[in-house]
Chains A and B, each alone.
Chain A
Amino acid sequence: NAGVTQTPKFQVLKTGQSMTLQCAQDMNHEYMSWYRQDPGMGLRLIHYSVGAGITDQGEVPNGYNVSRSTTEDFPLRLLSAAPSQTSVYFCASSYSKSSVHNEQFFGPGTRLTVL
């Protein structure tokens, strides 16, 4: 199993540009989520999904869209990039949407810089 994969690893955008961060998992996990990591703030939840076709907002959803058309994929879209979105983005997945203590598996991250 490849686990959770993310592409690209690094990205530089100009203010106002749009892009999609890709996330895929091959573990047949129901639950997937996106976090952003900023210095001194830990990880904060952006959006999450409990299954194909079902998404919901997390703690910091503004400026981001998600969709979940398949169990495997959970892309994160930046509609109009802003410098405040400069961060490291992590995708995570876990087996069951019904268990709050399932381990979450994290991807390697995407480092995004917005100029």
Chain B
Amino acid sequence: AQSVTQLGSHVSVSEGALVLLRCNYSSSVPPYLFWYVQYPNQGLQLLLKYTSAATLVKGINGFEAEFKKSETSFHLTKPSAHMSDAAEYFCAVSGDTGRRALTFGSGTRLQVQP
């Protein structure tokens, strides 16, 4: 069984400030972890993924995430927020070999204040 917990349903930062979105996972098998972004009225777009090659993963739009097995975490960060980063972000885990499906967290809505 696998699950994802995203701490904070809403996060607000100022433009230029650090973005930190938290994700903790639970998985009975070695996990593969993903961050997706959803802009208003659109589908989900992959930001980055962890597949055990490197613990620090760089994605699109300046985002990165670090896999910490001891903390079962995969937090998403960006050094400097931009107005265009305002969206909903979803952390997801895959590793259930039976279903090949993603288990999603409940999402974090990021607001960027000018």
Please list the residues of chain A having a beta carbon within 8 angstroms of any beta carbon in chain B.
4, 31, 33, 35, 40-45, 48, 50, 56, 58, 90, 92, 94, 97, 99-101, 103-104, 106-109
Please list the residues of chain B having a beta carbon within 8 angstroms of any beta carbon in chain A.
4, 9, 32, 34, 36, 41-46, 49, 51, 90, 92, 94-97, 99-107
A-B contacts, 26 of them at CB < 8 A, read A35-B104, A40-B9, A42-B90, A42-B104, A43-B104, A44-B104, A45-B101, A48-B99, A48-B101, A50-B100, A90-B43, A92-B44, A94-B100, A99-B100, A100-B32, A100-B94, A100-B100, A101-B32, A101-B49, A101-B94, A103-B34, A103-B46, A104-B102, A107-B43, A108-B42, A109-B43
Given contacts A100-B100, A104-B102, 19 further A-B contacts (CB under 8 A): A40-B9, A40-B106, A40-B107, A42-B104, A42-B105, A43-B104, A48-B99, A50-B100, A58-B99, A90-B44, A94-B100, A100-B95, A101-B49, A101-B94, A106-B36, A106-B43, A106-B45, A108-B43, A109-B42
In the A-B complex, list the 3 residue pairs whose CB atoms are closest, starting with the nearest.
Answer: A42-B104, A106-B43, A101-B32
Tell whether, in the assembled complex, residue A33 and residue B101 are in contact, meaning their CB atoms are under 8 Å apart.
yes
Which residues of B are found within 8 Å of A56, using beta-carbon distances? 99
Which residues of B are found within 8 Å of A4, using beta-carbon distances? 43
Residue of B nearest to A58 (CB): B101
Which residues of A are found within 8 Å of B96, using beta-carbon distances? 100
> Closest approach, in angstroms, between the C-beta of B22 and any C-beta of chain A?
15
Tell whether, in the assembled complex, residue B32 and residue A42 are in contact, meaning their CB atoms are under 8 Å apart.
no
Residue of B nearest to A91 (CB): B43
Tell whether, in the assembled complex, residue A48 and residue B106 are in contact, meaning their CB atoms are under 8 Å apart.
no
Residue of A nearest to B52 (CB): A101
Complex CA distance for A103 and B97, rounded to whole angstroms: 15
Which residues of A are found within 8 Å of B46, using beta-carbon distances? 103-104
Complex CA distance for A4 and B94, rounded to whole angstroms: 21
